[in-house]
Amino acid sequence: MAKKRKNDTRLDPFATAVGSSSLDALLEQANAGDVIRMPAPSDQSREITLVCKVISHKDIESTTGVYGKNRRVQALLNEKSVSDILPAIAHDGRNQHPALLWDQGDTSLVLAGSRRRMACILGNADYLVLSSSDFTDQDAKILAVSSDQYIAPSLWELGQAYQQTKNDLIEQGKKGSYREIASIEGVSHTAVADAIKAYEQIPANVIALYPTANHVGREVAKKLVSAKERDPKSFNQLVADLASNVEINAIEADDKRAMAITKCLTAEPQTASKREAVLENNFVSVQRNLKSGDVSVKIDNKVMTDKRLEQLTKLLSAFN
């Protein structure tokens, strides 16, 4: 196999569904007008006929959409999230490895290649696709999962997908437990739980603050959820303020900016002191608790002689 270029996502559609076939080689050589036949992802005995075509940049948004159960949240796709392929696609004037589209008549649904679609839109490039009306909903679901291999969806996006799986299970009369979902998705039940909690507890506008959704992994998500639960009002205000934070937005390195955003959103609030100093010097500290009125005394052992301790003990023993 030739050395992978940045404008080459050949792992995207087929590594799982038809990994043992020679389809990868066929796709690499596909040109506009070519007709390619492949086994259906959901049934190897059924054949799907694909037509290779180029969709002009100006027609991409009006003639194509993205399959509804695609795990990549399209609203989160931007220049940062497709930065690994955008420069090469913009330079080449089109994507080199064709996306897969399900022909629906006036509109075609992207089954694999939504990142390439966005890169073509942002890069003023044409969209090379393989289109067919032979796909089924089951084929589409399989391709929606296998297309995630080039760049995995974020924890938050997976949470949305797992939530949909849960809803489907409930519609079938099942519980939709984390273990049931995990069995279907091929991951651990803790991974399912973390992803769903991130999706349910972290608003989309918080995810949008980060350079990409993938910057919100498990540990960051847990910190964000904890901060939000601790003080929802303050958390929401920080989110609103961050959108116009010039200093943080000026940080060019994505990882550093993501860390700064997380630090800002999850910082422990500074609380007012609960004690007032009655006496403070190098050897003695006397403080009063503002709420309870209790007094605490701390004396350095360098000045606490036996005689002074005896005097202090007699004084304190007289309190009642």
Distances (CA, A) of 32 to 25, 96, 179: 16, 12, 45
CA distance 49 to 37: 5
Q: What is the pLDDT of residue 56?
A: 95
Q: What is the pLDDT of residue 276?
A: 78
How far is residue 77 CA from its own chain's centroid? 11
CA distance 163 to 198: 11
Residues 157 and 76: beta-carbon distance below 8 Å:
yes
Residue indicated by tokens 């998500």:
221
Beta bridge partners of 129: 53, 99
What are the pLDDT tens digits along the chain (320 aa)? 444 455 544 433 333 333 334 445 555 666 777 888 888 888 888 999 999 999 999 999 999 999 877 778 888 888 888 888 999 999 999 998 888 999 988 889 999 888 999 999 999 999 999 999 999 988 888 887 766 555 678 899 899 889 989 998 999 999 999 999 999 888 899 999 999 999 999 999 999 899 888 899 999 999 999 999 998 999 999 999 988 888 888 888 888 989 999 999 998 766 555 777 778 888 888 888 887 888 888 888 888 888 888 888 888 888 86
Tokens standing for residue 26:
């066929």
Number of other residues whose CB lies within 10 A of the CB of residue 320: 3
Indicate the pTM of the whole model: 0.63
Buried-exposed string 291-314: b where 16+ CB fall within 10 A, e elsewhere: eeeeeeeeeeeeeeeeeeeeeeee
CA distance 197 to 180: 16
Backbone φ and ψ for 117, nearest 5 degrees, come out as -60, -50
The residue type at 108: S
Distances (CA, A) of 91 to 87, 199, 316: 6, 36, 84
Q: What is the pLDDT of residue 78?
A: 86
CA distance 121 to 110: 14
Q: What is the pLDDT of residue 21?
A: 42
Backbone φ and ψ for 192, nearest 5 degrees, come out as -65, -45
Q: What is the pLDDT of residue 108?
A: 93
